Chain A
């Protein structure tokens, strides 16, 4: 079984400042890792994913995350945030099979302050 820990439930940050949202996972098998973003009353949108290959993955809107196997972490970072980045961010892990569900962390509320 897998589990995910998001250490910060809320992260306030000023606009144009950098941010890091932390995510740690545990699993006895190889996993895929994901970050999803959720805006109010909407479903989840994939932000980025680590399936294999390069441990540093990037999204089209400036976010990046690095898979660190030794530390079992997949922290999300952005060098300069915008007001529009205000949302709930969920880290998730799954086994490699397509028939298994994703296991989510409790989420981190990112609030960008003007």
Chain B
């Protein structure tokens, strides 16, 4: 099946710094990718929809200036957490669907810890 690769799997950063997370579709082109955030023992909360070549669409309550999304190619979307704070610590997961629909393929997730 299709593969979505997310990197890094785990990152620890100091408060005030920025962290970039990459999401790649390895064997298919994804015009749209999705970024989710998962709190401990909670479901996945959609943060934003990343569109290749255009601005991302953010869900209500998600700060677009804090969570910068760039979808520069058909196989790569990045999420940058800017000026990270401890409350940004979470598990971030990206996903992509093929253009024709069907299942979503998920990256391995990134565990972000801000200290």
Assembled-state Cα–Cα distance A51/B104 (Å): 12
Is A44 a contact partner of B106 (Cβ separation < 8 A)?
yes
Would you give the shortest CB distance from A85 to chain B, in whole angstroms?
Answer: 18
Give A63-114 interface residues, CB cut-off 8 Å to B: 90, 92, 94, 96-99, 101-107, 109
Binary interface profile of B, 66-109, with partner A (CB < 8 Å = 1, else 0)? 00000000000000000000000001010101111111111111
Is the CB–CB distance between B102 and A49 below 8 Å?
Answer: yes
Interface size on A, residues (CB 8 A): 26
Q: Is the CB of A106 within 8 A of B43?
A: yes
Residues of A contacting B49 in the complex (Cβ-Cβ under 8 angstroms) = 99, 101
Contact A98 B98 (CB under 8 A): yes
In the complex with contacts A44-B93, A90-B43, A90-B44, A98-B107 CB distance below 8 A? no
Closest Cβ of chain A to B23, distance in Å, is: 11
Does B32 sit within 8 A of A, measured CB to CB? yes
Give A92 to B45 CA distance when docked, in angstroms: 12
Binary flags per residue of A18-58, CB closer than 8 Å to B gives 1, else 0: 00000000000000101010000111111001010000000
B43 pairs with A98, CB closer than 8 A: no
Q: Is B111 part of the binding interface, using a Cβ–Cβ cutoff of 8 Å?
A: yes
Which residues does chain B contribute within 8 Å of A96, judged by CB atoms? 101
In the bound complex, do residue A107 and residue B43 qualify as a contact, i.e. CB atoms below 8 Å apart?
yes
Q: Are the CB atoms of A43 and B102 closer together than 8 Å?
A: no
Within the complex, which residue of A94, A98, A103 is in contact with B100, where a contact is CB–CB below 8 Å? A98
In the assembled complex, the CB of A13 is this many whole angstroms from the nearest CB of chain B, namely 19
Residue of A nearest to B107 (CB): A43
Q: Are B101 and A97 in contact (CB under 8 A)?
A: yes
Q: List 30 A-B contacts (CB under 8 A).
A: A36-B106, A41-B91, A41-B109, A42-B108, A42-B109, A43-B93, A43-B106, A44-B93, A44-B106, A45-B106, A46-B103, A46-B105, A49-B102, A51-B101, A90-B44, A94-B97, A94-B101, A94-B104, A96-B101, A97-B101, A98-B98, A98-B101, A99-B31, A99-B32, A99-B97, A101-B46, A101-B49, A102-B95, A104-B43, A107-B42
* B-to-A contact residues, CB < 8 Å: 1, 6, 31-32, 34, 41-44, 46, 49, 91, 93, 95, 97-109, 111
